[in-house]
Amino acid sequence: MRGWQLASFALFFGLWELAGRWPVSAAFPPFSAAFLALVEMLRDGSLLKAYLITLQPLALGIVLCAVAGIGFGIGMGLSRSVEWLSLPIFIILQAAPMAAIIPLITYVYGIGLTSKVLAVIMLAAPVIVMNSYKGIRNTPPSLLQMCRSFQGTRRQEVMKIVLPHAAGLIFTGLRLGLAMGFIGIVIAELLITPTGIGDLITYNSSVADYPKMFAAIASIVALAASALYLLERLERRWFP
Amino acid sequence: MRMLLSLVVWFVLWEIVGQMKFSSIVPPFSAVIEAGIEILPTEKFAKAAIISLRSFGLGMALALAIGIPLGVAMARVKGVGRLLGMWVNIFVSAPISALVPILMAVIGIGETTVVVTVFLFAVFVITLDTQVGITHADRSLVEMARSFGATRRQLYSKVLLLSALPEILAGVRLGAIRGVKGVVIGQLLVAIIGVGELFETYSNNFLMEEFWALVLIVFLFAFAVSEAIAYLERRVEYYAAAR
Amino acid sequence: MIVEVKGVRKTYDNGVEALRDVDLSFPKGQLSTLLGPSGCGKTTLLKIIAGLIPKNGGEVLVNGKAVHGPGPERAFVFQDFALLPWADVLRNVGFGLELRGVERKKRDEVARKYIAEVGLKGFEHRYPAQLSGGMRQRVGLARALTVDADIILMDEPFSSVDEQTRRKFQEDLLDLLRHHQKTVIFVTHSIEEAAYLSDQIALLSPRPGRVSKIVRPAVDRSKSPDEIRRDRGYLDTVDEIWGILRQYV
């Protein structure tokens, strides 16, 4: 597999280099230029500083989402009345373009950390809740009957069967939630006020330093991809 | 659909919260509905809707035209799958909105950028699901068709694509939902056309009733598109259930 | 009679009548089988006796007392094994005791004993995914034995394993039951299996399920397993049952 992966990288970056040298647009730098810009931003610390700012609301939002979202999703799975009230809402929220509401948050909460954390939560919560809910609901009926045949109480049923079984999907929900969180923080930084990575992107765009702009964008895409890849490996190891 | 009744509870709650003026950004539900009815027939809305639908349609058409064949190629041609697989997987969950500034810089500020945004949002999940669908297509069906002398073309049209249809439709549905998000985000960032512009205008001028009405309209549209495709999926599923 | 079924009726939610006025008695210490084609309600009846699904009429008496739900005197062995995929064999076998609050050391001790009895010694720390179908069902059986119930209810326990494993299983089951005085109520659709294992066979006719006949195989069980399968009584029983059941197919 190693060989193919290297070829894959080479193909992508090779095409990028060629496309950059093609005189179609001045705004599209070749890969080499972007790479050099990345190195420079790493060296002068601007990239690191930007991420320290950007990752704060992301981490905060995801942690809050995880605790509240998983709890709520489990509640939805275990209680028919909670399910009845919340399921249609979350189904709609999953399909809805939440980005439209993000500018509105700034009116109430300003342009600071709170708004950005809220943006992350708004995008990540639906998928975390829905996956936790599905994990609970999809417990194999055969296992539940088995528990009942040994006269297990409802509490034992939940603690020893439903929850352990749901753990896999809950973790998947967290992984997908993190993906949505990245999307949320990027949108927030591009729409609300540019800070951190968003700032690097918009600033360099405005001064036409396209290699740096591309480098910043590539870095966040790469960061998101790596984080998600790690989580997927963990998921496959823990929940075969 | 008992579930839908719970939405009524939420609307009532919304009405109460709005009437009590808890927050300046939450008008009563009835006022939102009124505003919605008012803006729907206006020329301004019609123009915005047409531009947005056009971008959505073009972007989705491109995503289907490229995504499905690409997914098929990735499933059937060994090298293609191995080379592109990693990138498709990366971009399926990546924050694609980060790429929009690039599009704006290279293509400019206008409808084309939005079309490309929609395309980028939708194409990766369509490609991935198509690839999965074709890969998991019933092998025994393929063998059977071959044993009766099916040509390659017949194999694809009569067996493979039909066998993979449930997964392909699932991918298209997810792609459509993302496409709507693409239109909204693209237009919000570009800020001068379509519903994105309307959202800007309403929120800048604090026209909260109109703003929420537009939110509901867009949400309803996304939901309708999703359900329409889900309906197709269900029709297709029962014949595939024999697998 | 340790278990008595009187006038049991069951109709599903969709209106299909599954069982109508079923009367049966199960002698203590014997292996009784419910046999019939698919749709005759045998699994439904077994689950009603187990207390896992409700009935619409009639009563089930265990040791003379009416029962309405699961109880410690009855243990169930599932057709699809129903093992916890995230627990090893040791924990799975001890699960019944775990639910009763028996402490870890004691349950592991009891579990190990029955794991060895069903022939899985050495596999205590394997996971279900690492076991074959036959082995998984042995785990299910061991689990039912650990709770020391007088009555073991088995729902087509060997239908998900291959023919060779199945035969071995049947022989091992008879062997095991010789050492433990249990009453077994067994569901199967295989005539040979019923004739081989049972002291009493209740034939059920389908749609709606009713008892059509009770057969007591005249099989000399002192013979070796292979000899039994050629025993006159065994073969006659098989023919007799097929003669009755073929009209329902």
Q: Residues B158-187: pLDDT tens digits? A: 778 888 888 999 999 999 999 999 999 999
In the predicted structure, residue A194 carries a pLDDT above the cut 70: yes
* Pairwise CB contact (< 8 Å): C86 & A161: no
CA distances from B73 to B92, B112, C175 (A): 18, 27, 58
**In A72-84, which positions are buried (b, 16+ CB within 10 angstroms) versus exposed (e)?**
bbbbbbbeeebbe
Q: Residues C150-195: pLDDT tens digits? A: 999 999 998 878 888 888 888 889 888 888 889 999 999 888 899 9
Site from B7, B26, B90 to mutate, A interface, most A CB atoms within 10 angstroms: B90
* Alpha-carbon gap, residue B185 to B200, rounded angstroms: 12
Question: pLDDT band at B21, cuts 50/70/90?
Answer: confident
What is the average pLDDT score of chain C? 89
* Alpha-carbon gap, residue C108 to C13, rounded angstroms: 41
Q: Residues B118-130: pLDDT tens digits? A: 999 999 999 999 9
In the predicted structure, residue A73 carries a pLDDT above the cut 90: yes
- Report residue B121 CA to chain centroid gap: 8
Specify the DSSP element, H or E, that contains C247. none
Counting DSSP H helices and E strands in chain B, the numbers are: 12, 0
pTM over 0.80: yes
Return all residues near C43 (Cβ < 8 A) that are at least 6 apart. Answer: C79, C155, C156, C187
Tell me whether chains A and B touch (3+ CB pairs under 8 A): yes
Percent of chain C residues past pLDDT 70, beyond the cut = 100
**Contact by Cβ (8 Å): B193, B114:** yes
**Contact by Cβ (8 Å): C185, C32:** yes
Question: pLDDT band at B243, cuts 50/70/90?
Answer: very low
Q: Residues B44-80: pLDDT tens digits? A: 888 889 999 999 999 999 999 999 999 999 998 888 8
The SS3 call for residue C6 is strand
Across the interface, which of A150, A164, A165 has its CB nearest the CB of C147? A150
In the predicted structure, residue B237 carries a pLDDT above the cut 80: no
The SS3 call for residue B84 is helix
What is the side-by-side strand order in the sheet with C65-66?
C17-26, C3-11, C57-62, C65-66
Chains that touch C (3 or more CB pairs under 8 A): A
**C247 vs B227, which has greater pLDDT?**
B227
List chain C residues with CB under 8 Å of A156: 99
A-chain residue closest to B176, CA distance: A95
Min Cα–Cα distance to chain B from A152, Å: 31
C-chain residue closest to A156, CA distance: C99
CA distances from B103 to B96, B116, B130, B195, C213 (A): 11, 8, 26, 19, 80
